[in-house]
């Protein structure tokens, strides 16, 4: 069966190291440079070993959202060009999400259009907050409007928390446990859920009809909390928001390979809104594929989650040849 994965990461090591201390990414190691930088033989071999047909690839942290002005614009352009070359080399195996200079929203909107129209990318990935602001901030209206005009989704991926948040919530724990709690254990996922809740509560989906958002990690805890959110809002005279979120948000399985949260996601979002992903190379292809194969799904729902939803949403050309 065709298998599409769409939270799969890369970086351009010389570009990243010229601007950042890459160790600020909790998943980084010197060895990861090799894996993240490989957009050819090694990555394809890892995909083939576990029957993954197509990766939609996005830039890992740290990135252009941390750079002001021309530096951020150039970083994003170089990153997208590098990925675009790999997509041209392997059109049936790779797609791309644009990396944007989010601190310069007008330039970011133009770069998104260039990446979609000229490089053939399928949407944009935004890594968490930009300069302490969520996407509901009016500052980012040009990016959201351009995504709607281009009819491409916005994948909201976690990022490192702002320093004030880290110091309050995660400081003072032994060893690396604070940084892990702030990231993959819990912090990343709660912040991304807040990001989506803010979009819904701020009326962003109404301001930008047709805006489609993707989040990973089995919905970033949203499936578990939507019912509670509706109860709290309606008990205080407000309007429920679960329908708004379910109708505008897709979720992926990236990095969460357990049946219980999957069943929660399935009963909340439905099979038409869930897409398989690995979170490569931070998560491995082997357990992700084993999890997919073991899911208690009907044949039709298995097709939807394995590739059908991604093919439809991202308009993937399944006939593309090497």
Instruction: Supply the residues annotated as catalytic.
Output: 279
58, 9 Cβ separation under 8 angstroms = yes
Q: How far apart, in whole angstroms, are the C-alpha atoms of residue 148 and residue 150?
A: 5
Q: How far apart, in whole angstroms, are the C-alpha atoms of residue 252 and residue 217?
A: 6
- How far from each other are the two terminal CA atoms of the chain, in whole angstroms? 19
Give 108's contacts (C-beta < 8 A, 6+ positions apart). Answer: 76, 100, 101, 102, 142, 143
Query: Among candidates 234, 286, 245, which has minimal Cα distance to 5?
Result: 286
Helix crossing, 222-235 with 187-201: angle to 10°?
40
| Long-range interactions of 195-199: CB distance < 8 A, separation 24+ | 195/128, 195/129, 195/134, 195/135, 195/156, 196/156, 196/220, 196/222, 196/245, 196/249, 197/229, 197/241, 197/245, 198/134, 198/135, 198/136, 199/134, 199/135, 199/136
> In the structure encoding, which two tokens stand for residue 129, read together?
């907050």
């Amino acid at each position: 069966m065709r298998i599409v994965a769409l939270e799969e990461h890369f970086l351009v090591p010389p570009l990243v190291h010229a601007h950042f201390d890459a160790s600020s990414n909790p998943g980084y190691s010197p060895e990861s440079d090799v894996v993240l930088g490989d957009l050819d033989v090694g990555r394809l071999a890892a995909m083939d070993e576990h029957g993954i047909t197509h990766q939609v690839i996005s830039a890992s942290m740290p990135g252009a959202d941390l750079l002001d002005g021309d530096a951020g614009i150039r970083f994003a352009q170089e990153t997208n060009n590098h990925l675009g070359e790999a997509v041209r080399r392997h059109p049936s195996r790779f797609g791309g999400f644009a990396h944007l200079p989010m601190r310069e929203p007008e330039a970011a909107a133009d770069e998104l259009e260039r990446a979609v129209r000229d490089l053939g990318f399928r949407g944009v990935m935004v890594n968490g907050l930009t300069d302490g602001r969520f996407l509901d901030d009016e500052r980012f209206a040009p990016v959201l409007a351009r995504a709607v005009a281009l009819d491409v989704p916005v994948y909201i991926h976690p990022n490192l928390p702002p320093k004030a948040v880290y110091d309050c919530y995660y400081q003072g724990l032994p060893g690396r446990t604070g940084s892990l709690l702030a990231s993959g254990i819990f912090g990343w996922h709660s912040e991304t859920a807040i990001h989506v809740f803010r979009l819904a509560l701020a009326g962003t989906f109404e301001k930008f009809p047709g805006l489609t958002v993707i989040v990973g990690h089995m919905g970033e805890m949203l499936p578990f909390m939507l019912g509670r959110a509706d109860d709290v809002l309606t008990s205080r005279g407000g309007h429920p928001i679960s329908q708004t979120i379910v109708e505008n948000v897709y979720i992926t399985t990236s990095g969460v390979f357990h049946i219980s949260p999957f069943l929660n996601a399935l009963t909340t979002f439905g099979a038409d809104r869930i897409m398989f992903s690995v979170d490569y190379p931070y998560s491995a292809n082997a357990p992700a594929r084993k999890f997919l194969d073991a899911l208690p799904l009907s044949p039709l729902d298995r097709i939807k989650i394995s590739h059908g939803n991604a093919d439809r949403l991202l308009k993937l050309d399944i006939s593309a040849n090497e």
